[in-house]
Amino acid sequence: MKFLDLAKVYIRSGGGGGGCVSFRREKYIEYGGPDGGDGGKGGSVWIETVDGLNTLIDFRYQQHFFAKNGQPGRGQQRTGKDGDDIILRVPVGTEILDEDQETVIADVTEVGERILLAKGGNGGFGNLHFKSATNQAPRRANAGQEGVDRTIWLRLKLIADAGLLGMPNAGKSTFLAATSNARPKIADYPFTTLHPNLGVVGVDGAEFVIADIPGLIAGAHEGRGIGDRFLGHVERCSVLLHLVDGTSEDVAGDYRTIIGELEAYGGHLADKPRVTVLNKVDALDDDELEAAKAELEQEAGHKVMTMSGVSRLGVTEVLRALRSEITEDRLRLKPQEETKPWQP
Ligand SMILES: Nc1nc2c(ncn2[C@@H]2O[C@H](COP(=O)(O)OP(=O)(O)OP(=O)(O)O)[C@@H](O)[C@H]2O)c(=O)[nH]1
Ligand SMILES: [Mg+2]
| 207 lies in some domain | yes
| 65 lies in some domain | yes
| 188 lies in some domain | yes
What pLDDT is recorded for position 337?
47
For residues 55 and 109, membership in a common domain is answered with yes
Global pTM reads: 0.76
Q: What three-state secondary structure class fits 165?
A: strand
The residues lining ligand 1, judged by C-beta closer than 6 Å to any ligand atom, are 166, 168-174, 186-188, 190-193, 214-215, 279-280, 282-283, 308-310
pLDDT tens sequence across 141-189 = 999 999 999 999 999 888 889 999 999 999 999 999 999 988 888 989 9
CATH of the domain at 263: 3.40.50.300
Given pLDDT bands bounded at 50, 70 and 90, which one contains residue 90?
very high
Give how far Cα 106 sits from Cα of 44, 117, 153, Å. 17, 9, 11
Nearest-10 Cα torsion for 293, 295, 298, 301: -50
For residues 124 and 171, membership in a common domain is answered with no
pLDDT tens sequence across 36-83 = 999 999 999 999 998 877 888 888 888 899 999 999 999 999 999 999
Q: What residues make up the domain containing 41?
A: 1-156
For residues 147 and 209, membership in a common domain is answered with no
Answer yes or no: is 185 a known binding residue.
Answer: no
CATH of the domain at 32: 2.70.210.12
What pLDDT is recorded for position 343?
45
| CA-proximal residue: ligand 1, atom 30 (nearest) | 280
Strand 114-118 to 45-50 pairing: antiparallel
Residue range 15-41: mean pLDDT, rounded? 87
| 344 lies in some domain | no
Residue range 212-234: mean pLDDT, rounded? 89
| CA-proximal residue: ligand 1, atom 16 (nearest) | 186
pLDDT tens sequence across 270-312 = 999 999 999 999 999 999 999 999 999 999 999 999 999 999 9
Listed in sequence order, the residues at least 6 apart from 7 whose beta carbon sits closer than 8 Å to its beta carbon are 56, 59, 60, 63, 153, 154
Of 132, 156, 180, the last residue of a domain is 156
Q: Which residues surround ligand 2, an ion (CB under 5 A)?
A: 172-173, 192-193
- Please classify residue 223 by burial: count the beta carbons closer than 10 Å to its beta carbon, then call 0-12 exposed, 13-18 middle and 19+ buried: exposed
